[in-house]
Structure formats: C-alpha cells, structure tokens
Amino acid sequence: MRRLGSVQRKMPCVFVTEVKEEPSGKREQQPFKVLATETLSHKALDADIYSAIPTEKVDGTCCYITTYKGQPYLWARLDRKPNKLAEKRFKNFLHSKQNSKEFFWNVEEDFKPVPECWIPAKEIEQLNGNPMPDENGHIPGWVPVEKNNKQYCWHSSVVNYEFEIALVLKHHPDDPGLLEISAVPLSDLLEQTLELIGTNINGNPYGLGSKKHPLHLLIPHGAFQIRNLPTLKHNDLLSWFEGCREGKIEGIVWHCNDGCLIKVHRHHLGLCWPIPDTYMNSKPVVINMNLNKYDHAFDTKCLFNLFSKIDNQKFGRLKDIILDV
C-alpha cells in the first residue's frame, strides 16, 4: 500500500460549499452553517478524486511526528493567530471584499507570539521566507510535546521518549475486522500525522476511558480505509452516512495521488456529529503490549504499563476497555 498523505494544511471539501444563515451544528455560537452543494469542487477534480483512497476522518486533535533534540518527537498542533488589531482589519476586509487571498499580512507584526520551538506546517505558502496565513488568517504549525508539559499532558501520555514508542490504535495486521492497540516505535511514524483521540479530547466522541481512568490513543491518518464507498454524488454519500454501518463516522478524507487531502464532514451534509454508536466502536479490539523486551520498568501509572497488564486481552469494543490504576 502506498504511503498516505499527512495533514499539513486545512483540507478542502470534496463539494463546493455554501453558507446558510442558520445556527451551526458544529460550532456553538456560530450563526451560520457551511453546507455542501451537489457540485464537486475544482480542487477535488484537479487532484483526481476518483482515483483517491477514501479513509475514515477521525475526530480528535491533529499531531505530527518529527525530529526534535535529535530524536523522534510527538508535536501538537498550534496555529499562529493574528493579534486583535490584525484580526479586526482582516474581518473588515472580508466583509467588504470576500476574498481572503487579497488581504495584505505583515507576518512580523500582525501575529501573536509563539514558542521558540514552534515550526510552521510543511505545506503552507511562504513569502520571502515567511510562512503565510491560510484563508482563515491562521498559520498552521506545531510545537514539540515535552514529557512533563501540563498543557499537553494527554499528548504526552501516549508517548515514551525513553523507549521511543507511541501508543497506537490501528487494524490488526492479520484481521481487518479487528482493531489493535500496540506500542509502535516513533521512528516508524516519522513525518506522519496522526489523530489523538480519547477521554479529554474533543468531547470524547468514541467514549474512551473515564474521568477517573482517562485513556488516549494515536491513530495514523489514513489508517482506516473505507472499502465500500458509493459514487461521489451528494445523495449517495448522504444515504451511505445515514444508512450504512460503515457510515457511522465523522467524515471521509480522500488521499489523492498527488498527496492532496480532500474531505467531507457529516455537517457538510446536514447530518449530526457526534452520534451514539460509531463505526469505530462496532469492532472488537485486542491489546498487544508485551513490554518484556525493554530493559527496565515503565512508570507504574503510565498507559503503556497499564495496557501491559491486559496484554493479549480482547474487548468487544473500544469503550469497553477500563484501565485499573
């Protein structure tokens, strides 16, 4: 299988979208909805969407694995945002002109400071060596997740830098109907983006863990390929999301041959998310966490150690996993 694309910019919708003046189902206090029309977007057609690989869009927070301090590190998404003055200028411009690309940004003065270790996302436009904002006025980027950083404690719970491993959920290599939680070398994930899901991320749509025993996992982007997707027609996709077990997902991300990523979210089709019974929770999951090969002990309360206590155990679904500390 070819290496799938990584998320280094905002993904466009597979359909042309339109704004409808009614409260958003996706974002509280947003007075409008962004809905898909029945027309495929130019970006989707230019990227040859018909030969792309469709995958499940997982609802979490985006992460990236690249080198820091000479070793593979997990990085958290941190977008550089404009300061109040620049944001006001930008919004006024949008009201009058509509096209955000014509707005002039002074990157050195218009944006809030970011940590020194911040890096811009790979695929954003550059001008005179400066990363440029996207159409929303943000500069997507990343910050490394340090071991004891409280702000990113849920991120750091899924990596161990001493042993250079990450806690990953993916399909079992020998059984596509079975999920597997395992420790994966960070070096195997270099330059990939992943989704962090779990108890304290995005309202926990998959029902992982509990307040007392929080549980978080990484899922490589593109890990869950969709096998039986209908034709790329608005109504066919709508029916698939509504009436098919495999359609009980947040959305679809198409990985195109040129590396471009195209998406559709349930909200684009006027559908609800989150939903009670997700497709991810319809599959059994097995734990593969034998830590005997590591020469000394893990912290007793860390997720790797807790999973090692239930190594080889199989659960009916993800939300059935309870880790006793």
Which range among 42-46, 96-100, 111-115, 251-255 shows the weakest confidence by mean pLDDT? 96-100
Q: Residue 22 above 90 pLDDT? A: no
CA-closest candidate to residue 215, choices 303, 312, 324, 314: 303
Q: What is the pLDDT of residue 95?
A: 79
Residue pointed to by tokens 């200028």: 89
Domain boundaries, the chain: 1-58+222-283, 80-139, 154-220+286-325
CA-closest candidate to residue 147, choices 157, 138, 139: 157
Cα angle 28, 193, 248; round to 5: 50
Q: What is the pLDDT of residue 121?
A: 94
Whether 5 and 221 have beta carbons less than 8 Å apart is answered as yes
The model's pTM: 0.92
Question: Please, which residues have CB within 8 angstroms of residue 42's CB and are 6 or more apart in sequence?
Answer: none
Whether 5 and 260 have beta carbons less than 8 Å apart is answered as yes
Whether 280 and 247 have beta carbons less than 8 Å apart is answered as no
Q: What is the pLDDT of residue 312?
A: 97
Q: Residue 6 above 80 pLDDT? A: no
Which range among 31-35, 60-64, 220-224 shows the weakest confidence by mean pLDDT? 31-35
CA-closest candidate to residue 318, choices 204, 195, 153, 225: 204
Q: What is the pLDDT of residue 102?
A: 80
182-212: per-residue pLDDT in tens? 999 999 999 999 999 999 999 999 999 999 9
Q: What is the pLDDT of residue 1?
A: 41
User: What span, in angstroms and rounded, lies between the C-alpha atoms of 323 and 217?
Assistant: 13
* DSSP summary character for residue 298: P
